[in-house]
Amino acid sequence: MSPRRASSGGLIDRSRSIRFSFDGQDFTGHPGDTLASAMLANGVSLFGRSFKYHRPRGVLAAGVDEPNALVTVLRGEAREPNIQATMLEIYDGLQVVSQNRFPSLGFDIGALNQLGGKVLGAGFYYKTFMGPVFGPLKGTRFWMFCEHFIRHAAGLGRAGTVPDPSRYERMNAYCDVLVVGSGPAGLAAAKAAAATGARVVLAEQDARLGGCANWSGGSIDAQPATEWAAGAAHELAGLANVTVLSRTTVWGYYDGNTIAALERVADHKATPRTGEPRHRHWTIRAGKVVLATGAFERPLVFPGNDRPGVMLASAAARYAAEFGVLPGEKIAVFTNNDGAYASALALREAGCSIVAIVDVRGELSAAARELAVRTGAEVLTGRAVTGTEGGKKLHCIQVQGFDVVTGAITGDARSIDADCLLVSGGWSPVINLASQAGARAEWNDRLQAFLPPKEAEGWVGAGGFNGTFALDAALAEGLAAGSGEAGETAPDPAGDLDMSPAPVFEVTAKGKAFVDFQHDVTADDVRLAHREGFQSVEHLKRYTTLGMATDQGKTSNVPGLAIMANALGKQIPDVGTTRFRPPFAPVSIGSLAAERYGEIRPERLTPMHDWHLANGARMYSAGLWHRTMIYGLPGETVEQAYVREAKTTREAAGIADVSTLGKIMVQGPDAADFLDRVYTNIFSTLPVGKARYGLMLREDGLALDDGTTWRLGELDFLMTTTTANAGKVMQHLEFLLDVIWPELRVHLTSVTDQWAGASIAGPRSREILAACVSGTKVDNETLPFMGIVHGAISGAPVMICRLSFSGELAYEVYSGAGHGTHVWKALIEAGKPFGLVPYGLEALGTMRIEKGHVTGAEIDGRTTARDLHLDWMLSKKKPFVGSMMMDREGLIAPDRLQLVGIVSLDNQPLNGGSHIVEQLDRDRPHGSVGHMTAACYSPALGRHIGLALVKAGKDRRGQRAFVSDPLRRRFGPVEIVSHHFYDPEGKRMHG
Amino acid sequence: MREYSAYMLLRNALTGNRDWKPAWRKPDPKPSYDVVIIGGGGHGLATAYYLAKEHGITNVAVIEKGYLGSGNVGRNTTAVRSNYLLPENHRFYEHSMDLWENLSHDLNYNVMFSQRGCLNLAHTPAQFDDYARRGNALRHEGIDAELMTPTQIAREVRGLDLSGSQRFPVVGGLMQRSAGTARHDAVAWGYARGADRRGVDIIENCEVTGFLRDGDRVTGISTTRGEIRAPKVAVAVAGSTSRVMQLAGIERLPIESQVLQAFVSESLKPVLDTVITFGMGHFYVAQSDKGGLIYGGALDGYNSYAQRGSLPLVEEVHAEMLAMFPGLASVRVLRSWGGICDMSMDGSPIITTGPLPGMYLNCGWCYGGFKATPASGWCFAHTIARDEPHPLNAPFTLDRFHRGMVIDDKGQGATPNLH
Amino acid sequence: MIITCPYCGPRDSSEFVYQGEDGRTRPDPASTDQAAWNAYVYDRVNTAGEHEEIWQHSGGCRAHLRLVRNTLTHKISSVSMARHATVPRRRRKAETPA
């Protein structure tokens, strides 16, 4: 048997043993144990090292409020750092290592920091490390040199750098009542709510339901509270309208009663079941939230209060009652309230010896006196613990006289041997979620605690959360909260202990007295902050880091405030409290990414995607789309491939997948009028069966997008947009129709995914279509430039528009998405005799550069129609979106960046993103007059060319300049030319 | 003996740290000052500091509604960089960088400016070219920038998924080595202490309730602590700009206040040595000296003064984080918070005289205000002292929007939530 | 935040896209009042409190909604269809007060 395990009692399963390891040493525990309880049962008291001074630390609490006992869990190569030993359920094979120590937990060099003592007080780093003003360590260098060491000394656990193989999952839930916390009040609330027929979710952060019913004694409905809780839990689990979530921490309270919770599905298992996630992220939308989150016991602040063996009284009682663990043999108690007496008695009854109860109060209540007698302890009233002794484990405490009013220490110290000291400084209701929801806490003098406000929207509180500690009263509140009916008057709590503490938070004596254990913030640090003027609660927190550790001040906030209030001579509520922020307890990043871990965005694939992959395509991302970059032949480089594709297209024919273009049906009696308003040019004159190139501006007069729109019928238009802007254009049009011009009778439908598109270009393209299209002719008469015909290819209906992006004779062939691959294959087959090749975006880009067509690289949200030589599209006959804004002075300034062509004069490749300069300076590049938006090798011209946006570019055509690309060390002479490199008259596409 | 130094730390340690003096005084407001600055955040305090230091104007009050530094200077993700695309922006931010590099000495306060670099990841060839354009723009102004290949990135950034098999493979990155992080609160405190030592009155817990006027001219302010007269009243209140300006009768501005969330993880041993951003979304992360990963993403995207964020954005930010660093899935987020950003219509700030006589306006910081703090204060002080802008802030006028002279680094137009 | 779309019912705010401040008046398309255009495009009241604004239910029916939402608390006090509010002749049955 483990040295500290009682032979009976507790809710663990003694019939089975679990083996686990801590820092390589093997231990055993039982099902139902946490790491903390199992280690304590094995007589281990040293769990970790503190953040700054690397002081040895034990376990202070028994739950989510634990500040000290943080460990790293190893799962194969994956590491989970900073896990509270008190929240970690053990399983067979669990591997845990301690943190923030070198070389070992027992002997840690970092503990030398303690010698720094008062030099390393709050905010010390703001006052030094500035380094010399001159010399090699001037500027930021000295600090960065020091920072390197500081960073390595700081930090707690180590994160993994290999991908975490776990799966995470998201779940949505909707309920009428969400009950947070399954203590007596929470269980009563859940039962009451369930009885009304409401959909209920009950969330409990621990593995076991019942909360304090599992350890604080008492009886409910004439049964021991533990049994009542187990019965209630069983009953709730059997109800169809109740979902019980254990191991589920409600951590976020968002707008509209949207609640976030983390369910630790498999953390307690050696191996998750097949398909089981490690964590599940719940989004619960609740009609009403019952907050039954209980209260945290507070420690007292006194010298040596961080020694391993010092423990919250309620935590010790819980270890004894729930886990059958005796946290010490000779236990002393230090308290300012009656609650600790009950804890002491529970430990006495579990078999510990209570050597002394030290109470700051001079007078005790009858109830406390009676309990004290039953513990057999010596009761020292009007006394305080002023020191503790022991290295990594408590040996004895020092007790002196204490004036509860003035806080003065009197008399000589008396030493009392003890290996465990229970402390109790009162209780702080867990109001974090209410605070997240916007509630302002109210100070309660009797309980010396912040309580939630009485009036609240969306939630209702019950039990310890309200500061209601008497069992019957808590149950009544739970019942009322769950049923939604006004509760009965709370029963007289005469039979229960009065939990109100004496207003004592700190015992001021010589030695380090810790307020925030994990961050090593001492009472002196708080006073130093006060002295230096960091007196508002937020300044205190930020200057000392009080409450900013992984426990977020669950045990330290109120004591810290109290010490500051004392220094200021103010009342605690006048100092204020910080607003609690999500999450209530740390949440795994994986759970928040959930199913998007490893799959951040959906993929958009065109209907012909598989064909591309099967035919040598190299793909890349264009927004969410996967698009073909090149169709490489074996041994070809990217450049060789795109040059071949573009060359073949210009000489014979090429085919490209343009299914990604945005496509919007614009229909209705006012469709033509609408298009006239949104395009800069006129569409109402467009005949049925013809297409027209259009340009749209934003409301601010800058270019938004371009594309062709096809008039399919008197009232039917098919608009195409660029791939990148499809969503943006749709939204723009919908806004105008819905909000600005609701009187227009126009309907918009996004049909991007409904149509597959193939662009077939090149001098042989007409012959290829003629060979495979049925139902229509495709000759120049029937299908002139910008004409539209309907027909069929290999039995599938198609719509063909003769338009060209490449500058060649070209057609876009649209078919239903389901026929996309069928039509594509038929075109490929028909094209074989004519030398048809498929081409990717690189070749498409090459041909568009040769033609000087603009894309998103030029319509970049900063350019105007005039900048891009599209002035000819600005109708003067009608207003359009942006028409009144496009001529403002800044948008017509002569030195704006304007579109030009660039030709390399040294026959070397050009890079997109290079800048253009008038004077080349390789060492100190300067004087940029613009930049290249796109570049390629032009097979048609046999030169390296590109497009650029250059200041006053229109006037520079014909001038020499240089490309300057210091990032890639590419410098060289270029000529600025017109952006129409190839067939400027457009003979080929009109041919 | 008010200089901070290692010697001072030792000396005070020997006397039990009892002799430290307040970092700044807590004076009552005087009836009048030469300059009143509304807003005791980073920019307001820096403005006061540079008014005193650069222009010898020390009869200055900084008026703060809550506690000093309670706005965005105390709730940001601490990145400092100057790698903006447009010259108006990167020249201004590079001046800020120059000030940052000497700030700890200048203030005699360690603001922990750590030039650990800022790396923007590119995920498509087009994006890489776009970054090249920006990097080259910087290089042509003498500002440091370099392109990195995935192999080079792998050598410097641990744990980054460079497998090439993920949804958006990393094709390269743009690195600015001089960029980095600073300790945000220390910047506010350092400027406050520096200004206070030069005679500036910093008045906390003092809310402005109105402007004193003589015709059009602003002649002072009324506050919860009485009237304060001043021939020059400067406004530097970030997310509260519209509210404060409405007190002066300026009903509409090219500003929307929106909430931006930020997050910090639990404290970890060093795992990330640079500031790094994701290119296929909006995500940025750095590790603080204390060990927490500090990160954030896009705005929640709607007007808000509530300093509280929404859950969908929380999920998005963490999904993007793991797309870069899959090893961090089992690390845990410790705290989140929201700040109110004064989003302008082109994503760039406003530092100007006016719009009323006797008034000066500093706003529109979107979520880039922290890194701007020194230059913003420096330029604003110049503008207030000289009654005309410095060439560095001359483009950042209020009327540039109407005149079509926007400085739109992202090219999003008058859509503040996209900047 | 949960927005109650008059067509679709209560939906998470992530289904919606914010379209900015309402109450700005777009000048008549033929208007040449440059100041009015400038104000429409760039100037905002940016209310702290009850804020009139437009959202699109982009992940649902795609209708534009007029909301009154408190920017200090995020509480939504009314939702209506933007289209119906401006075209009184149309059917209004889908409109609901929030």
The reply to whether A700 touches chain C by the CB within 8 Å rule is yes
Give chain B's length: 419
A438 lies within 8 A of chain C by CB: yes
> Are A556 and A547 contacting, i.e. CB atoms less than 8 angstroms apart?
yes
Average pLDDT of the residues in A936-960: 96
Angle at Cα A678 formed by Cα A675 and Cα A680, nearest 5°?
A: 100
CB A585 within 8 Å of CB A205: yes
Nearest-neighbour CA in chain B from A845: distance (Å): 11
Task: Tell me whether residues A965 and B136 touch, CB distance under 8 A.
Answer: yes
By C-alpha distance, which of A430, A396, A400, A439 is closest to A416?
A: A396
Cα separation values, C8 from C22, C55, C57, C93, C96, Å:
22, 14, 9, 13, 11
What distance, in Å, lies between the first and last C-alpha atoms of chain C? Answer: 13
The two structure tokens encoding residue A734: 């919908």
Closest of A552, A529, A121, A52 to residue B189, by C-alpha: A529
Secondary structure of residue A889 in the 3-state scheme: helix
Taking an 8 Å cut-off on Cβ atoms, the answer to whether C1 and A884 are in contact is no
- Report the C-alpha gap between A553 and A565 in whole angstroms: 17
Is pLDDT of C88 > 90? no
Between A987 and B82, name the one with better pLDDT. Answer: B82
Nearest to A967 among B110, B146, B291 (CB): B146
Q: Residues of A numbered 894-933 whose beta carbons fall under 8 angstroms of chain B's beta carbons: which are they?
A: 911-915, 917, 924-928, 931-933
Backbone angles phi, psi at A218, to 5 degrees: 85, 170
**Which residue type occupies A4?**
R
Q: Is B203 helix (H, G, I), strand (E, B) or coil?
A: strand
Question: Out of B13, B128, B267, whose CB is closest to A119?
Answer: B13
Summarize pLDDT for B289-312 with one digit per residue, the tens.
999 999 999 999 999 999 899 999
Phi, psi of B104 (to 5 degrees): -60, -40
Which pLDDT tens digit goes with each residue over A224-281? 999 999 999 999 999 999 999 999 999 999 999 999 999 999 999 998 899 899 999 9
Which residues of chain A neighbour C82 with C-beta distances below 8 Å?
Answer: 738-739, 742
Q: Which one-letter DSSP state was computed for residue B268?
A: B
pLDDT single digits (tens) B63-97: 999 999 999 999 899 999 999 999 999 999 999 99
* pLDDT(A851) > 50: yes
Among B212, B186, B230, residue whose Cα is nearest residue B61: B230
Q: Are the CB atoms for A156 and A100 separated by under 8 Å? A: yes
Residues linked to residue A354 through DSSP beta bridges, in sequence order = A331
- Which CATH number is associated with domain A1-120+142-162? 3.10.20.440
Residue B335 and residue A912: Cβ atoms within 8 Å?
no
Residue type at B170 in one-letter notation: V
List chains adjacent to chain C, taking adjacency as at least 3 C-beta pairs closer than 8 Å.
A, B
Is A168-295+428-495 the same fold as A1-120+142-162? no
pLDDT at C93: 44
Question: Phi-psi bin for A284: left (phi > 0), alpha (psi -120 to 50), beta?
Answer: beta
The residue with greater pLDDT, A863 or A112, is A863
- What is the distance between the alpha carbons of residues C54 and C23, in angstroms, rounded to a whole number? 9
3-class DSSP state for residue A122?
Answer: coil
**B317 has a pLDDT exceeding 50:** yes
A434 Rama class: left (phi>0) / alpha (psi -120 to 50) / beta: alpha
Q: How many CB atoms lie within 10 A of CB A381?
A: 17
C-beta neighbour count of B158 within 10 angstroms: 14
Q: What is the pLDDT of residues A785-804, one digit of tens each?
A: 999 999 999 999 999 999 99
Question: Quick one: which of B128, B125, B115, B170 has its CA closest to B323?
Answer: B170
> Is the confidence at residue A608, as pLDDT, over 60?
yes
Long-range contacts (CB closer than 8 Å, 24 or more residues apart) made by B293-297:
B293/B264, B293/B265, B293/B268, B293/B328, B293/B331, B294/B77, B294/B78, B294/B181, B294/B262, B294/B263, B294/B264, B295/B77, B295/B262, B295/B263, B295/B264, B295/B265, B295/B321, B296/B77, B296/B260, B296/B261, B296/B262, B296/B263, B296/B367, B297/B261
How is residue A819 annotated by DSSP? G
Give the CATH H-level superfamily of domain A662-750.
Aminomethyltransferase beta-barrel domains (3.30.70.1400)
Contacts of A498 (CB under 8 A, 6+ apart): A338, A365, A367
Query: Coil, strand or helix: which one is A121?
Result: coil
Measure the CA–CA gap between A640 and A632, rounded to whole angstroms.
8
Tell me the fold of A638-660+754-847. Answer: Gyrase A; domain 2 (3.30.1360)
Convert A87-110 to b/e letters by CB count within 10 Å (16 or more is b).
bbbbbeebebbbbbbeeebeebeb
Candidates A488, A487, A482; CA nearest to A196 is: A482
Distances (CA, A) of A405 to A295, A409, A680: 26, 11, 82
Q: Which CATH architecture has domain A168-295+428-495?
A: 3-Layer(bba) Sandwich (3.50)
A572 touches chain B (CB under 8 A): no
User: Could you report the per-residue pLDDT of A146-158, keeping only the tens digit for each?
Assistant: 999 989 888 888 8
> Six-digit token pair at A437?
């929801």
Residue of A168, A902, A291 whose CA lies nearest to A597:
A168
pLDDT at A493: 52
- The mean of the pLDDT values for chain B is 95
Measured in residues, chain C has a length of 98
Mean pLDDT within B139-150: 97
Residue B241: Cβ-neighbour burial (10 angstroms; 0-12, 13-18, 19+): buried
Angle between helices B369-386 and B87-101 (to 10 degrees): 90
Contact between B267 and A586 (Cβ < 8 Å): no
Please give the average per-residue pLDDT across B137-154, as a whole number.
Answer: 97
Q: What is the dihedral angle through the alpha carbons of A243, A246, A249, A253, rounded to the nearest 10 degrees?
A: 10
What count of CB pairs under 8 Å joins A to C? 61
pLDDT, mean of residues A644-648:
97
- Tell me the two tokens of residue B370: 């922290």
Which domains are seen in chain B, by residue range?
Answer: 25-79+184-254+346-418 (3.50.50.60), 115-178+256-344 (3.30.9.10)
DSSP string, A552-604: TTTTTHHHHHHHHHHHHT--HHHH--PPP-S-SS-EEHHHHHGGGTT--S--B
Give all domains of chain C, ordered by start, each with its CATH number.
Answer: 2-23+35-86 (3.30.2270.10)
pLDDT at A464 over 60: yes
As for the ipTM of the complex, it is 0.95
Best of B207, B302, B403, B412 to substitute, by most chain C Cβ atoms within 10 angstroms, is B302
Q: Chain C window 19-78: which residues touch A at a Cβ cutoff of 8 Å?
A: 19, 26-27, 29-32, 34, 37-38, 40-42, 54, 56, 58, 62-64, 73-74
pLDDT at residue C97, as a whole number: 43
Q: Which CATH number fits domain A306-423: 3.40.1080.20, 3.50.50.60, 3.90.1640.30, 2.40.37.10?
A: 3.50.50.60
Closest CB from B24, B110, B315 relative to A126: B110
Residue A732 CA to residue A699 CA, distance in Å, equals 10
Interface touch A258/C12, C-beta < 8 Å? yes
Distance (Å, whole) CA A399 – CA A458: 48
Q: What's the gap in Å between the CA of A882 and the closest CA on chain B?
A: 12
The set of chains that have 3 or more CB pairs under 8 A with B is A, C
A330-335 and B332-344 beta bridge pairing: unpaired
CA distance B371 to B218: 30
Question: How confident is residue A495, by pLDDT bands cut at 50, 70 and 90?
Answer: low
Q: Is A16 helix (H, G, I), strand (E, B) or coil?
A: coil
CATH of segment(s) A892-991: 2.40.30.110
What does the domain layout of chain A look like in residue ranges?
1-120+142-162, 168-295+428-495, 306-423, 531-595, 638-660+754-847, 662-750, 892-991
Per-residue pLDDT at A901 exceeds 70: yes
pLDDT value of residue A1: 52
More confident residue, A286 or A132: A286
Band of residue C98 on the pLDDT scale cut at 50, 70, 90 = very low
**Least confident residue range of A749-753, A760-764, B305-309:** B305-309
A979: nearest Cα among A851, A844, A843, A845: A851
Instruction: Report the mean per-residue pLDDT for chain A.
Output: 94
The residue with tokens 């497009």 is A947
> pLDDT tens digit string along A718-744?
999 999 999 999 999 999 999 999 999
Specify the pLDDT at position A7.
87
Give one word for A742, left, alpha or beta, with left for phi > 0 and alpha for psi -120 to 50.
alpha
